[in-house]
Amino acid sequence: MILQTVLNVLTHYKRLSPDVTYVVAVSGGVDSLALLDICIQIQPSLAVPFHIATLDHGLRGQQGQQDAQYVVQVAQEAGLPVHHHTADTAAYANRHKLGTELAARQVRYNWLADVARSVTNGVVVTAHHANDQAETLLLHIIRGSGLRGLRGMQTIGSVPGHVDVPLLRPLLSLTRQQLAAYCQERSLQPRHDASNDDTHYRRNAIRHTLMPILQDINPNITQALNQLADNVSVDLDLLDHLVETDILPRVRYDQKRASVVLTLFRSWHPALQRRMFIAVLTQLAGDTDISHERILAAVDLAMTGQVGQMSEFSAGWRLRLGYDELFIEHSDQSLPLAAVVQITGEFDLPRDGHTEIAPGTILHTSSQPPPDVPSVWVPDGARLWVRTRQPGDRYSPQSTSDTRRKLKKWFIDRKIEKRVRDHIPLICVDDKIVALYSPKGWSYVETRKAAAKNATKIGFWLELSS
C-alpha cells in the first residue's frame, strides 16, 4: 500500500513532465529513510532517474556528519547519485537575523532548489507525512493564520521561496506510525536526530507536548487536522477561482497603481474583497508581507471612508479613496490623471496654432477647426489664454451671463478630486472661463445669441502623446 501510494504520486507527475528527475531529500530519519527505500524499490517500474540529496546543517557536529554519511552510503549501495553538502546554518541565521529553526529551513530549501536546478527538470521530493501536516496546521493556528495557513502543505507544490522548483510530498496521506512500521518491516536502521527532542523549538513543542494532550481529547486528532486541511484546500480553490475569474478582471493597472470601481467593490463578499487586496498587492509589489489587521482596515475604509482618505499596507503601499474608485498604489506615485489633463501655470493661446500646456499635451487652436470640435467666440483684441483656477472663479457651460455658479461647486457636483482641481486647464477669454477639460472631456460655454461683431469662432482640441 505504501509503495503504491508513492508510486501513484510520482507517476502522476511523470505524466505531466515525462523527462523529470526526482531529487529525494533524505536526512536519515524514519520518514526520509522510508522514502529512500521506497524510491529504490519503485525506480525500475517508474523508469525515472532518482538523485538523493542529504544536507548536514552544521549544527550537530559529528552526529550530523555521521547521519549524512549514512545516507550517502545507503544511496551509493543502491546505485543512486548522491548530492551531499554541509551548511553553516549558524552563520546564515546571524547574517539574516533569523532564529535557528527558520534559518535551517531556509538553508535546506535553498540548497535543495539549487540541486534540482542542477539536474534535468529536477523536482524535489520530501518525506512530509500526515503528522507533519497536523503539526503545521497547529503552528499556523497559533500564529493566527488565515485560510492559506489552514490549507497546510500540498502533495504537489513548489519549494518555499523558489516558485520555479516543483516540490512533491508523496507521503502526505501516511502517518508517522505507518512509516515507522514500514522501516521495522524492511529492517531499516533510521538515524535519530536528538535536536528533534528539544522542545525549545516550537514544532517540537507541538509534537511532544501539545499533540499528546489533543490526542487524549481526540485519539484521531491527526486525521481530523488533515481532514480540516483537505476541506480548506478545496474551499480555497473555489475562492481562488472566483477571484481569478470574477474579481481580478475588474481591476485596472497602471504601473505602481491599480484601481477598482468603488460601488463594484462594495458589492463583493468580504472574503473576495480581502483576497482582491492580497492578489493585487502581490501583483504590484511581489511577496510583500501584509498583516491581516491591515487588510481588514483597508476593507473597512473602502466600505465606509470618505474621498481622499488613505490606509497604509506596508513598504509604502497604500489604499486611497477617490470619488468613484479606490486606488491601491505606492506612495511615490503622482496623483492619477484619471483622464484629467493637469497643468501648472498659464499660457497665452494663438488664434491659429498649438501650445504645449503640459509635457506631452498639446492644445490646438484654430479659426478654421475640423468639424465637431469644441469652439468659442473670441472678440477681436480679447486675450485667449489657459490657466488654472483662482479664488472666486465662476463657470457655467450653459450661458455667458454673469449668473454663473462657483467653479468649486461645479467641481464638487462632478466628483472631481480636490487635489486635481488646482491643475485642471481652464480656457479663458479675458477674465471669463469659457471652457475646461474635465474627466469626461471638454466642457465649454454654449453661446445662445449671435456672436458679437468683430469676433472669431475659435475651435480647440487636445493632442496627447503616448
For position 230, what pLDDT does the model report? 93
Q: Is the pLDDT of residue 335 over 70?
A: no
pLDDT band at 405 (very low <50, low <70, confident <90, very high): confident
Q: Which of 291, 347, 336, 299 is nearest to 319 (CA)?
A: 299
CA atoms of 247 and 202, how far apart (whole Å): 38
Q: Is the pLDDT of residue 143 over 90?
A: no
Report percent pLDDT > 70 for the chain. Answer: 94
For position 146, what pLDDT does the model report? 79
For position 382, what pLDDT does the model report? 93
Query: What is the tens place of the pLDDT at every residue in 163-203?
Result: 899 999 999 999 999 999 999 999 999 988 888 888 888 88
For position 451, what pLDDT does the model report? 54
Query: What average pLDDT does range 109-118 have in this prediction?
Result: 96
Query: What is the tens place of the pLDDT at every residue in 121-131?
Result: 999 999 999 99
For position 309, what pLDDT does the model report? 85
Query: What is the tens place of the pLDDT at every residue in 292-332?
Result: 889 999 999 999 988 778 899 888 899 998 767 899 998 88
The H or E element spanning position 227 is helix 221-242
CA atoms of 230 and 163, how far apart (whole Å): 22
Q: Which CATH class is domain 2-231?
A: alpha beta
For position 370, what pLDDT does the model report? 83
Report percent pLDDT > 90 for the chain. Answer: 57
Q: Cα angle at 458 between 452 and 460, to 5 degrees? A: 150
Q: Which of 437, 449, 441 is nearest to 401 (CA)?
A: 449
Number of residues assigned to the chain: 466
For position 446, what pLDDT does the model report? 64
CA atoms of 168 and 23, how far apart (whole Å): 10
Task: With beta carbons less than 8 A apart as the criterion, state whether 130 and 219 touch.
Answer: no
Q: What is the pTM of this model?
A: 0.68
Query: What is the tens place of the pLDDT at every residue in 203-215?
Result: 899 999 999 999 9
Q: Mean pLDDT, the chain, as a whole number?
A: 88
Lowest mean pLDDT, pick from 162-176, 258-272, 401-415, 443-457: 443-457
CA atoms of 80 and 76, how far apart (whole Å): 6
pLDDT band at 418 (very low <50, low <70, confident <90, very high): confident
Query: What cell does 106 get?
Result: 531556509
The H or E element spanning position 403 is none
Q: Which of 28, 37, 116 is nearest to 68 (CA)?
A: 28
Q: Are strands 426-429 and 384-387 parallel, antiparallel or unpaired?
A: antiparallel
For 251-330, CATH number? 3.30.465.60
Same fold flag, 2-231 and 251-330? no
DSSP one-letter string for 74-87: HHHHTT--EEEEE-
For position 20, what pLDDT does the model report? 94
CA atoms of 428 and 21, how far apart (whole Å): 73
CA atoms of 154 and 396, how far apart (whole Å): 63
354 vs 60, 222, 459, CA distance in Å? 77, 76, 11
Phi, psi values for residue 30, rounded to 5°: -55, -50
Q: Is the pLDDT of residue 400 over 70?
A: no
The H or E element spanning position 94 is helix 89-96
CA atoms of 16 and 113, how far apart (whole Å): 19
Lowest mean pLDDT, pick from 74-88, 279-293, 424-438: 279-293
Q: Cα angle at 365 between 466 and 403, to 5 degrees? A: 110
For position 455, what pLDDT does the model report? 87
Task: With beta carbons less than 8 A apart as the criterion, state whether 6 and 170 touch.
Answer: yes
For position 372, what pLDDT does the model report? 77
Phi, psi values for residue 252, rounded to 5°: -105, 135
CA 403 to chain centre: 52
Task: With beta carbons less than 8 A apart as the criterion, state whether 207 and 135 touch.
Answer: yes
Query: What cell does 86 get?
Result: 554541509
Q: Is the pLDDT of residue 338 over 50?
A: no
CA 80 to chain centre: 40
For position 57, what pLDDT does the model report? 93
Beta strands in 215-279 (DSSP E): 252-254, 257-261
**Domain map of the chain by residue range?**
2-231, 251-330, 347-464
